[in-house]
Amino acid sequence: MINNNDSNSSKIKFVHMADLHLGAFREKKLTDLNFKTFELAISKVLDIKPEFVLFAGDIFNNAMPPIELVSKVVVELMKLKSAGIPLFVIGGSHDYSNSGKSFLQLLEIACVFVDVSKPKFVDDGTVELYLHRCGRVVISGILGKKCGLDKNIYANLQKKDILSKDDFNIFMFHTTLNDFKPDFMKMVKTEVTKSYLPTGFDYYAGGHIHTFMEGSYSFGKLSYPGPLFPNNFSELKREKPCFNLCTFDFETRDTKIDRIFLSTYKKEHVKIEVIEKNPIDLKLMIEEKLSGIDLIGKILLLEVSGVVDGKISDVQINKIISKLYDNGVHIVLKNTYKLTSKDLVAIDVDSTLDSKKLEEEIIMKSFDDEVDYQVLKPFIDNLLSLDLSKNEEEKNVQFEERVSLAIKNSLEKLV
């Protein structure tokens, strides 16, 4: 039950979070920092004392995270329960699998939180929303699924008036809306639009889009709070850990959103662009640039792009990074995706070919004229036929081991 100290109050205060992705990072320092941010978020919520908390998907980065991580998360979430602050969640595309197996189910059974995404599938193919009532607040939601598979749920929602204007009605979702997304996602096309959302709710609590957005739908307020913790290099450049602190007014039926930022780290973004510098000069250029910046205890986002007149490996970026750690930099993340060598030769291929033929042509033209491509063709065909896609619930370590073994077996066949 929501603990509203004044049942006659015309306003209600709540927190909206999303996209924490605990367990997403390989680097222990980033993993620890991610969890530290989560701890600070819980501490902030306890200070704010809202009536309830919403988490719109992706608490975890996968459906079956390590039990040690789950245990630590439960300790933090139980602090909310002990303080009488209910937590309502939906599964996200990462922490809820399409098979239905997820730690979220276990945590709900243990009464750590309430999962409000329990739609009922009716015999005629339609979907009825589950409405969870707590006093004057009604909450419903639809979980996020990988590859946009949640579209079928939205497409078959029953179109009927099920809400009361005497209540504060909340709908939680975890998906990309094609007509409500940031500019940096303009090339991402989805079939789900705002019109797929059920109408009549006062607040639409979104997740999945890793940046803050505020808008409207039907007669309600619609928002993505942004990631509780940035999930990759680009997000660390662009985003700050944050969540929404919302106040709903029963008289005006409006929701005011304040953003609460969490300060758990300092960062520096250093961008270096080069035009045909030799590797030694580029190495000296990077070192000189970094020497003039206070990086102690910070996250360094090092971005190097352009053309090297020589081998990229001769820049010795990893040695530069090792020295940075010795000098007290907390975390170094590099992005050399747009750094290329002048020695690389462009390969002209027929872009009208299907993907398999295109791969074959690129490989064939990569060999020197002296190499008999036909001798290697059976090996190449075998490689191209391998299933190297990552399974939904497969951990990174398991995926890498499977790929390595498959390639090793292919090499043995060649020998």
List the domain boundaries for the chain: 11-261, 267-341, 355-414
Q: Is the pLDDT of residue 370 over 90?
A: no
pLDDT mean over 30-46 = 97
Is the pLDDT reported for residue 276 higher than 90?
A: no
pTM: 0.81
Cα distance between residue 182 and residue 211, in whole Å: 8
Question: Token pair of 52, please?
Answer: 């309830």
Residue 149 pLDDT level (bands cut at 50, 70, 90) = confident
Banded model confidence at residue 68, pLDDT cuts 50, 70, 90? very high
- Please, are residues 1 and 227 in contact by the beta-carbon 8 Å criterion? no
* pLDDT at 385 exceeding the cut of 90: no
Task: Report strand pairing: 299-308 vs 339-341.
Answer: parallel
Residues 67-86, mean pLDDT to the nearest whole number: 96
Mean local confidence (pLDDT), 266-275: 95
* Close Cβ partners of 282 (under 8 Å, ≥ 6 residues apart): 274, 304, 308, 315
Q: Write down the mean pLDDT value for the chain.
A: 87
Least confident piece of the model among 81-90, 241-250, 254-263, 329-338: 329-338
Q: What tens digit of pLDDT does each residue of 307-362 get?
A: 999 989 999 999 999 999 999 999 999 999 889 888 765 666 666 666 666 766 67
Inform me whether the pLDDT recorded for 410 exceeds 90. no
Predicted confidence at residue 5, as pLDDT, reads 47
Mean pLDDT calculated for residue range 133-154 = 89
Asked if 185 and 202 count as a contact pair (C-beta separation under 8 A), the reply is: no
**Quick check: 146 pLDDT over 90?**
no
Highest mean pLDDT among 117-126, 250-259, 355-364: 250-259
Taking residues 106-121, report their average pLDDT: 93
In angstroms, the Cα distances linking 287 to 220, 257, 363, 372 are 52, 43, 37, 44
Which pLDDT does position 262 carry in this prediction?
Answer: 97
Task: pLDDT band for 161, please (50, 70, 90 cuts).
Answer: confident
Q: What confidence tier does 162 reach under pLDDT thresholds 50, 70, 90?
A: confident
With 0-12 / 13-18 / 19 or more C-beta atoms within 10 angstroms meaning exposed / middle / buried, residue 348 is: exposed
**Beta carbons of 242 and 211 less than 8 angstroms apart:** no
Q: Which of 31-45, 52-66, 130-144, 347-361 has the lowest mean pLDDT?
A: 347-361
Residue 294 has pLDDT above 50, yes or no: yes
**Cα–Cα nearest to 414, from 374, 379, 382, 387:** 379
Is the model's pLDDT at 235 over the cut of 70? yes
Is the pLDDT at 399 greater than 80, yes or no?
no
Strands of 229-350, DSSP E: 242-249, 254-261, 267-277, 299-308, 331-335, 339-341
Q: Residue 159 — pLDDT band, cuts 50, 70, 90? A: confident
As given in the structure block, the two tokens for residue 170 are 């909340």
Confidence at residue 200, expressed as pLDDT on a 0 to 100 scale: 93
Model confidence at 145, in pLDDT bands (50, 70, 90)? confident
Is pLDDT larger for residue 289 or for residue 403?
289
Express as a percent the part of the chain with pLDDT over 90: 63
> From the CB of residue 252, how many other CB atoms can be counted at a distance below 10 Å?
10
Query: Which of these CATH numbers, 3.60.21.10, 3.40.190.10, 3.40.50.300, 3.30.420.40, describes 11-261?
Result: 3.60.21.10
Q: Where are the beta strands (DSSP E) in 314-389?
A: 331-335, 339-341
Task: Pick the more confident residue, 237 or 379.
Answer: 237
- pLDDT value of residue 251: 94
